[in-house]
Amino acid sequence: MKKLFFLSIITAALLASCNTGPAKEKTTGTFQPLETVVPARPAGQKHVLGLTTPKIDTVRVGFIGLGMRGPGAVERFTHIPETKIVALCDLHADRVEKSQQILDKAGLPRAAAYSGSEEAWKELCQRDDIDLVYIATDWKHHAQMMIYAMEQGKHVACEVPAAMTLEEIWDVVNTAERTQKHCMQLENCVYDFFELTTLNMAQQGVFGDILYAEGAYIHQLEDFWESYEGDWRMEYNKTHRGDVYATHGMGPACQVLDIHRGDKMNYLVAMDSKPVSIPAFLKEKRGEEVTDFQNGQHTMTMIRTENGKTLHIQHDVASPRPYSRMYQVQGTKGFANKYPNEGYALKADAVETGSVPSHENLSAHEYVSDEVKKALMDKYKHPIQIELEETAKKVGGHGGMDFIMDYRLIYCLRNGLPLDMDVYDLAEWCCMGPLTALSLENNSAPVAIPDFTRGHWNDIKGFRHAFVGK
pLDDT at 357: 55
Q: Are residues 150 and 198 in the same domain?
A: no
CB hemisphere CA count around 459 (13 angstroms): 11
pLDDT at 358: 60
Q: Round to whole Å and give the CA distance between 265 and 306.
A: 6
Q: Are residues 250 and 130 in the same domain?
A: no
Encoded amino acid at 295, one letter: N
Distances in Å between the Cα of 85 and the Cα atoms of 123, 147, 159, 286, 360 are 16, 21, 18, 40, 54
Domain end (from 139, 157, 186) = 186
Kindly state whether residue 12 falls inside one of the protein's structural domains.
no
pLDDT at 356: 61
With a pLDDT cut of 70, the percent of the chain lying above it is 90
pLDDT at 194: 98
As a dihedral over the C-alpha atoms of residue 91, residue 97, residue 98, residue 104, rounded to 10 degrees, the angle is: 150
Overall number of domains in the chain: 2
Q: Are residues 134 and 209 in the same domain?
A: no
Give residue 326's domain range. 190-382+423-448
The rounded radius of gyration (Å) of the Cα atoms in the chain is 23
Per-residue model confidence as pLDDT tens digits over 402-425 = 999 999 999 999 999 999 999 999
Q: Are residues 222 and 351 in the same domain?
A: yes
Whether the pLDDT of residue 120 is over 80: the answer is: yes
Q: What average pLDDT does the chain have?
A: 93
CA angle, 145 then 147 then 152, to 5°: 95
Per-residue model confidence as pLDDT tens digits over 222-242 = 999 999 999 999 999 999 999
Average pLDDT value for residue range 79-85: 98
Q: Are residues 159 and 267 in the same domain?
A: no
Whether the pLDDT of residue 366 is over 70: the answer is: yes
CATH number reported for the structural domain that contains residue 118 in this entry: 3.40.50.720
Give the three-class secondary structure for 215.
strand
Encoded amino acid at 432, one letter: M
Per-residue model confidence as pLDDT tens digits over 31-68 = 799 999 999 999 999 999 999 999 999 999 999 999 99
In 358-431, where does DSSP find H-type helix?
370-379, 383-395, 401-415, 423-430
Whether the pLDDT of residue 303 is over 90: the answer is: yes
Domain end (from 152, 186, 220) = 186
Q: Round to whole Å and give the CA distance between 298 and 26.
A: 33
Better-predicted residue by pLDDT, 457 or 362: 457
pTM of the model: 0.92
